[in-house]
Structure formats: C-alpha cells, structure tokens
Amino acid sequence: MRIHLDTDLGGDPDDACALALLLGWPDVEITGITTTIDPGGWRAAYVGHCLDLVGRSDIPVAAGAAMSSSRKEIAKPVIGDERYWPAGIAPRPAASGAALDLLQRSIEAGARLVGIGPYTNLAALELRRTGSLAGVEVVVMGGWVTPPHPDLPAWGPPRDFNVQWDTAAAQIVARTADLTLATLPATLQAPLRAVDLPRLRASGPLGDLLARQSTAHAVDSGKAALGPAHRGLPDDLLNFHYDPVACAVALDWPGALVEDTTLVTIVEGGVLQWHRRPDGRPTRVLTGVDGPAFTEAWLVAVERAQA
C-alpha cells in the first residue's frame, strides 16, 4: 500500500510514534511526507532526523504551510529542549509550493493520504489546484462524532486540535475528499503506558527517542495525572496513540472498528462539530479500537522499522 503522511511532527510525540509505525508496517511504501503548520521548516527537520535514525533518507520530505489558514496563528514546535530533540538539528524550509507538489505526486502515484496534523496543506492543495482531492482517499486524525466512554476523560470537540486549529481547512477537506475520520474519542482507547517503555527503548535509536519524548510529554502535558483519575485508563498512562491509530486505520488494520455514515460540519461559536444527518456526505468513522492488540502491533512495527 502507498501512503503519503501529512504531519505536524515536532510537538506531541504521537506524530513521531505514527511515523515509526508506518516505517515498520509490512508492505507499505511511504511516497512522501509533508509537514503542516511548520514555521521555518523545523517540523520537516525533525522528520528528517527520525528518518536518519533508521536509515530512510530515501523518503522525500517537504515543509508546508506555516500557519493556520483560519486563525492566521503559528503553532510552534518544541525547539531547544534536549529532552525532545538533540542539539544541532537545523530547520529545513522548502520552496513555495514544494509541499503541494509532493502531495500531488503522491496522489498521482495512487497513495492514500493520511493527515495527522491540522488539515491546512490538504485544503491548500484543493484551493490552489481545484479538484485535487476529489475521490482521493484521505484518512485524518480528528473529528468528534460521539463522546468518549464515561470512564474516559469527559473532553468535548474543543479538544480536537487538528480540526479546531484550522476549521476552514477541515471544512474544505470534509466536502471534497473520500474521507475517513479517526475520531479523537475512539483513539483514547489506545494508550501508551510506562510499562511499554523498556521494550521501546530496547528497539533501537528511534524507539529510545520516542520513549524519552513520551516520558517528558506525559509530565509537560499533564497526561500522567489522567490515569489515576479515570477508571478507563491505566495508572501508568503516558500518552494516547492518537496519530498511530489513524495510520493503522489507513492501513486497514482489523483491530479498528470503522462504520459508514453521513455527516455535515457545522461551526458554532468558532468550534467545528460533526453531525450525523441523512443529507450529509458519506464518511467513514472510527468508533472503537482494540487497545491491547494495537499496542502489540505498534511495538512490533517500531521494532521492525529499526531491525
């Protein structure tokens, strides 16, 4: 299967965890990687560092949009914190339009697009090259169709960063692509735990990087405190596999429960929400994840990427 990854790697380490999964999944060809909301090409540089750790400099990478098309704001990646990234990494800006060119080449090669950051690059491709997303299979991490299970954090749609950071882009992708939503509430069923760290560290240099970043992020984001506070979460919670699950959905992994429905997007008070309606667009929606099976599949993929 051919996959193009569009990512905001460089903040929450789940993006890097998702890239590791794709690198180690059998029979996957990554046709290209574009970075979104990437001021100055820092996120592209971090992608390049991850690829270098596993000897995969053959995959083309291009920095894309610098900011949200809705908010006109910048979401800065982590810079200068050696708990996340080693010193000496230099930004990798790209020429104007390079990310759109790479996206277009991937589409022409028959790749399925996987968006695990705000959908700014995907929308820009459709706006500047009308019809580019028509009929193209796009799997995105994000969307809020049903609430989380009562034993999980009682978050609502405002928590859905990929959608809310650029609502205009989300609406464009929703009305043009052949869309699958890896909804945030469903991905909460796939936690990353401290018990996974020894195996992750032992897998190789990329696994060690993911372990260090996830440990730091658990404290910085407050996620380490969620486990003891919610019955549906393990006490040793570090993070949620939001983006890796989205990639697994794109790869047709059987442990993801996906259903067909029809949805419309409505913006109320600046928050985009998805509603089931008979007159909506056909959309595939992730509704459940086999969490333990996913953890094992992900760890095996990370190990294989570095073998």
Q: How confident is the model at residue 209 (pLDDT cuts 50, 70, 90)?
A: very high
| pLDDT tens, position by position, 109-128 | 999 999 999 999 999 999 99
Residue 272: pLDDT band by 50, 70, 90 thresholds? Answer: very high
Per-residue model confidence as pLDDT tens digits over 59-102: 999 999 999 999 899 999 999 999 999 999 999 999 999 999 99
Residue 188 identity (one-letter amino acid): L
Contacts of 130-135 spanning 24+ positions with Cβ under 8 A: 132/103, 132/104, 132/107, 133/173, 133/176, 133/177, 134/176, 134/177, 135/178
Structural domains in the chain, CATH included, are 2-305 (3.90.245.10)
Amino acid identity for residue 293 in this structure:
A
pLDDT, residue 174, reads 97
pLDDT in tens, 167-198: 999 999 999 999 999 999 999 999 999 999 99
Q: What is the pLDDT of residue 141?
A: 98
State the pLDDT at residue 203. Answer: 98
pLDDT at position 145 is 94
Q: Do residues 84 and 213 touch, judged by C-beta distance below 8 A?
A: yes
The residues, any chain, with a CB within 8 Å of residue 3's CB and separated by 6 or more, are 22, 28, 29, 30, 31, 111, 112, 114, 247, 250, 251
Sign of CA dihedral 183, 286, 38, 124: negative
Confidence band of 22 (pLDDT split at 50, 70, 90): very high
Average pLDDT, the chain: 97
Residue 281 and residue 174: Cα distance in Å, rounded? 8
DSSP bridge partners of 288: 257
Global confidence as pTM:
0.97
Q: How far apart are CA 38 and CA 63, in angstroms?
A: 6
How far apart are alpha carbons 251 and 176 in whole angstroms? 21
Q: Which residues contact 38 (CB under 8 A, 6 or more apart)?
A: 8, 10, 44, 63, 64, 65, 66, 77
The strand pair at 256-268 and 281-289 is best described as antiparallel
**Cα Rg for the chain, rounded, in angstroms?**
18
